[in-house]
């Protein structure tokens, strides 16, 4: 098959790990005889220096002409966040792309692969065979509400949801649960928040269309505790924007590293932005030690959800697992391989 992917490396380690993913894509093209090409667009600090915008129109145009976006990371050093080059870079780029393409459903798989239980901060028996999917609503809620500094001592952030915004992401989550272990946990704070009470009303209505899926409600504070105490109890978790942001990052610690977590942000047409869940890590940028696993797994999600290439996605995941089981790991996982060396191992396993 033929396809076009917009690659937006961004800042920090983004270019290094995106290069790894493109190398793996080349191997997929060769093994499965596809013609999926890539086109690069600039975003973040480098784009701002050249164009005065963190997300130039040229990059948006490249993304519009593509089937999907493979995104790296954006953002600069913590102590430079107020400089024009970095100020609100993530907001302009990530939130901008989410709104532009209406990427309302964020899928973050939390999976502990066989033989990788030792990566987790939890006891191996707690995470053995863990396979949880967090579905996060991505373009509404408090992140997209009104943000106001009322006066020098008072600030206000507004969370807003409509029935339609809630229903469409719930249907994505129900569909996912129906194809997995048929259990859906709706996470909210309905004992306090009116938006959460609306989520529950809509969830109960949508549930009627999915009689085979077991649904439960859980408060977000309890969900965080249960993810740590017994993560394997969950199948699919669906929740609002901010809660999903927090829980999926907690999931990174449970799995072992944010460097292992891919994500897919989809719209109704299955156009998606695929990116690792970690940040730009400017402290290790250019050192060749970044773990590219989350970026490569994000490519696997792209092949699976945008192109329906399930065999190809499975092959990428199997190649990564084979590399780990052979002791071929990056330094953050206790190995000694550089970014490029680990990528080469995955490419070799994929070709074999």
Q: What is the SS3 assignment for 249? A: helix
Which positions of the chain have pLDDT values less than 70? none
- Contact predicate 185/150, CB 8 Å: no
Catalytic residue among 11, 42, 143, 307: 143
Catalytic residue among 102, 131, 175, 249: 249
Q: What share of the chain is helix, strand, coil (3-state, %, to 5)?
A: 45, 20, 30
> Of 35, 28, 37, which is closest to residue 4 (Cα–Cα)?
37
Query: Measured in whole angstroms, how far is the alpha carbon of residue 217 from the centre of its chain?
Result: 23
Instruction: Assess whether 189 carries a catalytic annotation.
Output: yes
For 11-37, write each residue's pLDDT tens digit. Answer: 999 999 999 999 999 999 999 999 999
% of the chain with per-residue pLDDT over 70: 100
Q: What is the SS3 assignment for 35? A: strand
- Contact predicate 219/187, CB 8 Å: yes
Specify which residues 185 forms β-bridges with.
216, 237
Instruction: Assess whether 245 carries a catalytic annotation.
Output: yes
Instruction: Assess whether 91 carries a catalytic annotation.
Output: no
Q: Given the structure tokens 């396809």, which residue do they identify?
A: 3
For 89-123, write each residue's pLDDT tens digit. Answer: 988 999 899 989 999 999 999 999 888 888 888 99
Q: How many CB atoms lie within 10 A of CB 304?
A: 19
Fold annotation for 1-103+267-352: Isopropylmalate Dehydrogenase (3.40.718)
Instruction: Output the pLDDT for position 95.
Output: 87
Instruction: Output the pLDDT for position 277.
Output: 87
Which backbone phi and psi does 110 adopt, to 5 degrees? -110, 100
Catalytic residue among 11, 188, 235, 245: 245
Instruction: Assess whether 131 carries a catalytic annotation.
Output: no
Instruction: Assess whether 221 carries a catalytic annotation.
Output: yes
Instruction: Output the pLDDT for position 258.
Output: 75
Indicate if 104-260 has the same CATH topology as 1-103+267-352. yes
| CA Rg value for the chain | 20
Burial class (CB in 10 A: 0-12, 13-18, 19+), 206: buried
Catalytic residue among 221, 270, 283, 311: 221
Q: State the pTM of this model.
A: 0.92
Instruction: Output the pLDDT for position 157.
Output: 94
Please report, for the chain, the start and end positions of each structural domain, with discontinuous segments joined by +: 1-103+267-352, 104-260
Which one is the CATH code of 104-260: 3.30.43.10, 3.90.1150.10, 3.20.20.70, 3.40.718.10?
A: 3.40.718.10
Interacting residues of 151 by C-beta distance below 8 A, sequence separation 6+: none
CA dihedral 334, 339, 343, 344 (to 10 degrees): -100
Instruction: Output the pLDDT for position 296.
Output: 98
Catalytic residue among 4, 53, 189, 207: 189
Three-state secondary structure readout of 153-176: CEEEECCCCCHHHHHHHHHHHHHH
Task: Return the structure tokens found at 318.
Answer: 């199997």
Instruction: Output the pLDDT for position 91.
Output: 86
């Amino acid at each position: 098959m033929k396809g076009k992917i917009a690659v937006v490396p961004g800042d920090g380690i983004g270019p290094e790990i995106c290069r790894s993913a493109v190398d793996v894509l080349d191997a997929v093209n060769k093994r499965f005889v596809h013609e999926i090409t890539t086109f690069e667009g600039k975003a973040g600090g480098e784009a701002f220096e050249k164009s005065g915008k963190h997300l130039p129109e040229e990059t948006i145009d490249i993304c519009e002409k593509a089937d999907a976006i493979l995104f790296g990371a954006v953002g600069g050093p913590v102590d430079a966040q107020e400089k024009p080059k970095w100020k609100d870079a993530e907001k302009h780029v990530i939130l901008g792309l989410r709104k532009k393409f209406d990427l309302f459903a964020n899928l973050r798989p939390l999976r502990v692969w066989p033989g990788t239980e030792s990566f987790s901060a939890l006891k191996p028996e707690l995470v053995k065979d863990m396979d949880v999917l967090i579905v996060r609503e991505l373009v509404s809620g408090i992140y997209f509400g009104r943000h106001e500094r009322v006066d020098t001592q008072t600030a206000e952030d507004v969370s807003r949801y409509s029935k339609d915004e809630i229903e469409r992401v719930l249907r994505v989550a129900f569909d996912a649960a129906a194809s997995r272990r048929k259990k859906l946990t709706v996470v909210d704070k309905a004992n306090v928040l009116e938006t959460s009470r609306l989520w529950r009303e809509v969830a109960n209505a949508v549930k009627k269309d999915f009689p085979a899926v077991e649904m439960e409600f859980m408060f977000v504070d309890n969900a965080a505790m249960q993810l740590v105490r017994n993560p394997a109890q969950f199948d699919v978790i669906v929740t609002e924007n901010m809660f999903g942001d927090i829980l999926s990052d907690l999931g990174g610690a449970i799995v072992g590293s944010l460097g292992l977590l891919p994500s897919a942000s989809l719209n109704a047409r299955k156009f998606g932005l695929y990116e690792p869940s970690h940040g730009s890590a400017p402290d290790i940028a250019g050192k060749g030690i970044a773990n590219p696993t989350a970026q490569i797994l994000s490519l696997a999600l792209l092949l699976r959800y945008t192109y329906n290439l399930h065999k190809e996605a499975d092959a990428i995941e199997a190649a990564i697992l084979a590399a780990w089981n052979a002791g071929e790991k990056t330094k953050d996982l206790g190995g000694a391989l550089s970014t490029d060396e680990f990528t080469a191992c995955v490419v070799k396993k994929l070709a074999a």
